[in-house]
């Protein structure tokens, strides 16, 4: 067996990613809090509650964990609902709290990446129709002005919108995120408003901070036809076009092309300095005339795929290469802004991380410029409609006691970050079952 190390480029960003509602706790003023109060919305009736108690100050101990384990960056999000609790009210103390967190990151030598919208809005925005209302992009712009004015001394790496495709499809097609609608036409309106919001934010940030780098975190999911039959190939392509490609392409050329209709959004053209990639898994897609509510698709995982604890994710590292190749077509620097797996006893995670990073290394050697990797997530956190049933953290969380439980993956990731690469010894120590793949 050959031995060696897969090194990543100097200055590579190694970090973890989190989102405000999932880690902060105690926010009763946003759409997700309201959603959690409705019966049947969240698995097992779970609530975010204290979450990881970052609002209570436990971000300090978690940032310590990140810094002490070799990470050099952290991606977090700020909550619009805390900063602007009412249309005519700004909460300066919330901004102070975020300022303190960003300073806290810098003091620990963790480069901050800040997401401005990660799946939740203030209740007052929802009351006016949420992202279906075409006034919301402008209101979002005002929030961005306020937040960026306050936080720009500490951050110049911004993600405007996290996974606009997941947000729009989950909230307006699958109906599992608030407001729980099931209408593709509405989802497409929402996506256009999110494009406008992104474009506005991009220009606002650059007017204030010319050196800033602004992008989105795009969720890429592989869609392979389940068979060679033309309807399966067609529906797989429809999914790729509408789910993966529509949003970033509009930010590239200013044309929102839904296959059957094109809308021009010229202010969006060229509004990305980098493209963030969130990759988790890939689907096999079969055309299904009987499933209009599922956009005529039956999606499964390959029969022999290794599945995560609850079957939510299939381990398919080759999709990471497809994801980077796809992202590379826009000619922008790329950053993996999320990748991870739910795994409370950490049996699959070490292998999952190693094989995804190996796939990333391989494709980077095909001349794709990838500047960093943010693992999802630092510590178990509230997984939206799946509540606490899924555990994505390098550290586990006891929700009752707030105790953190260090998983072997935290140590493995630390060794990778410190080495800026993956050595044979790391694979032998943490996931010998991956030796065949990394060092055949
Ligand atoms: O927890 C989420 C995150 O908020 C967005 N991307 C996928 C993660 C895992 O489900």
Please give the mean pLDDT across all residues of the chain: 98
Question: Ligand 1 center to residue 383 CA distance, Å?
Answer: 7
Query: At what angle are helices 246-253 and 164-172 packed, to 10 degrees?
Result: 130
The answer to whether 195 touches 254, Cβ cutoff 8 Å, is no
Q: Closest ligand 1 atom to the C-alpha of 278?
A: 6
Q: Closest ligand 1 atom to the C-alpha of 162?
A: 5
Predicted pLDDT of residue 364: 98
Q: What is the pLDDT of residues 235-288, one digit of tens each?
A: 999 999 999 999 999 999 999 999 889 999 999 999 999 999 999 999 999 999
Question: Ligand 1 center to residue 424 CA distance, Å?
Answer: 30
Question: Ligand 1 center to residue 19 CA distance, Å?
Answer: 9
pTM (2 decimals)? 0.98
* Domain residue limits, the chain: 5-438
Q: Can the peptide bond before residue 179 be classed as cis, meaning omega within 30 degrees of 0?
A: yes
Predicted pLDDT of residue 244: 98
CA–chain centroid gap for 61, Å, is 23
Ligand 1: lining residues by beta carbon, under 6 Å: 19, 22, 163, 278, 338, 376, 383, 392
Q: Closest ligand 1 atom to the C-alpha of 118?
A: 4
Average pLDDT estimate for 214-221: 98
Mutate to test the pocket of ligand 1, among 384, 390, 394 (most ligand atoms within 8 A of CB): 384
Which DSSP category does 269 fall into?
Answer: T
The answer to whether 42 touches 177, Cβ cutoff 8 Å, is no
Share of the chain above pLDDT 70, in %: 100
Average pLDDT estimate for 346-362: 98
Question: Ligand 1 center to residue 18 CA distance, Å?
Answer: 9
Mutate to test the pocket of ligand 1, among 168, 376, 382 (most ligand atoms within 8 A of CB): 376
Question: Ligand 1 center to residue 340 CA distance, Å?
Answer: 9
Q: What is the pLDDT of residues 154-168, one digit of tens each?
A: 999 999 999 999 999
Predicted pLDDT of residue 293: 87
Of the pLDDT bands very low, low, confident and very high (cuts 50, 70, 90), residue 388 is very high
The answer to whether 226 touches 300, Cβ cutoff 8 Å, is yes
Question: Ligand 1 center to residue 17 CA distance, Å?
Answer: 9
Which is nearest to 366 in space by CA: 321, 421, 309? 321
Predicted pLDDT of residue 135: 98
Of the pLDDT bands very low, low, confident and very high (cuts 50, 70, 90), residue 94 is very high
Q: Closest ligand 1 atom to the C-alpha of 386?
A: 10
Q: What is the pLDDT of residues 283-326, one digit of tens each?
A: 999 999 999 988 899 999 999 999 999 999 999 999 999 999 99
Nearest residue by C-alpha to atom 2 in ligand 1: 383
- Residues near 276 by beta carbon (within 8 Å), at least 6 away in sequence: 159, 215, 216, 217, 218, 334, 335, 336, 337, 338
Question: Ligand 1 center to residue 228 CA distance, Å?
Answer: 32
- Per-position DSSP letters for 89-137, written without gaps between them: B--HHHHHHHHHHHHHHHHTT-EEEEEEESS--BHHHHHTTGGGSTTHH
Q: Which fold has domain 5-438?
A: TIM Barrel (3.20.20)
Question: Ligand 1 center to residue 6 CA distance, Å?
Answer: 27
Tell me the CB-side half-sphere exposure of residue 47, using CA atoms within 13 A.
14
Q: Closest ligand 1 atom to the C-alpha of 338?
A: 6
CB atoms closer than 10 angstroms to residue 6: 23
Predicted pLDDT of residue 1: 85
Q: Closest ligand 1 atom to the C-alpha of 384?
A: 1
């Amino acid at each position: 067996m050959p031995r060696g190390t897969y090194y990543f480029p100097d200055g590579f960003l190694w970090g973890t990613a989190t989102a405000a509602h999932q880690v902060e706790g105690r926010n009763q003023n946003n759409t997700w809090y309201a959603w959690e109060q409705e019966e049947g919305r969240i698995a097992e009736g779970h609530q975010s509650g204290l979450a990881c108690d970052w609002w209570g100050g436990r971000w300090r101990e978690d940032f310590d964990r990140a810094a002490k384990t070799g990470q050099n960056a952290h991606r977090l999000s700020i909550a619009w609902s805390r900063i602007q609790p009412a249309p005519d009210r700004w909460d300066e103390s919330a901004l102070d709290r975020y300022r303190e967190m960003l300073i806290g990151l810098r003091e620990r030598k963790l480069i901050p990446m800040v997401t401005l919208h990660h799946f939740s809005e203030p209740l007052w925005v929802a009351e006016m129709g949420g992202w279906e209302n075409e006034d919301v992009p402008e209101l979002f712009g005002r929030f961005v002005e306020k937040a960026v004015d306050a936080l720009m001394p500490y951050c110049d790496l911004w993600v405007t919108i996290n996974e606009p495709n997941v947000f729009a499809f989950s909230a307006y097609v699958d109906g599992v995120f608030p407001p729980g609608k099931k209408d593709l036409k509405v989802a497409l309106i929402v996506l256009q408003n999110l494009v406008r919001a992104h474009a506005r934010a991009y220009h606002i940030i650059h007017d204030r901070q010319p050196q800033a780098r602004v992008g989105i975190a795009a969720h890429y999911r592989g869609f392979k036809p389940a068979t060679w039959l033309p309807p399966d190939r067609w529906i797989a392509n429809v999914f790729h076009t509408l789910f993966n490609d529509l949003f970033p392409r509009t930010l590239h050329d200013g044309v929102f092309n839904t296959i059957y209709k094109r809308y021009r959004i010229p202010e969006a053209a060229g509004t990305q300095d980098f493209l963030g990639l969130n990759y988790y898994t890939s689907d096999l897609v079969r055309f299904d005339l009987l499933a209009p509510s599922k956009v005529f698709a039956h999606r499964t995982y390959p029969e022999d795929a290794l599945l995560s604890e609850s079957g939510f994710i299939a381990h398919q590292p080759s999709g990471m290469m497809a994801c980077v190749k796809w992202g590379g077509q826009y000619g922008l620097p790329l950053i993996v802004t999320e990748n991870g797996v739910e795994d409370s006893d950490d049996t699959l995670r070490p292998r999952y991380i190693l094989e995804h990073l190996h796939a990333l290394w391989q494709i980077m050697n095909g001349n794709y410029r990838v500047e960093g990797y943010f693992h999802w997530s630092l510590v178990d956190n509230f997984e939206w409609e799946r509540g606490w049933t899924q555990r994505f953290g390098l550290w586990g969380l006891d929700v009752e006691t707030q105790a953190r439980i260090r998983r072997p993956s935290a140590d493995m990731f630390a060794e990778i970050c410190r080495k800026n690469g993956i050595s044979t010894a790391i694979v032998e120590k943490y996931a010998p079952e991956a030796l065949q793949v990394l060092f055949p």
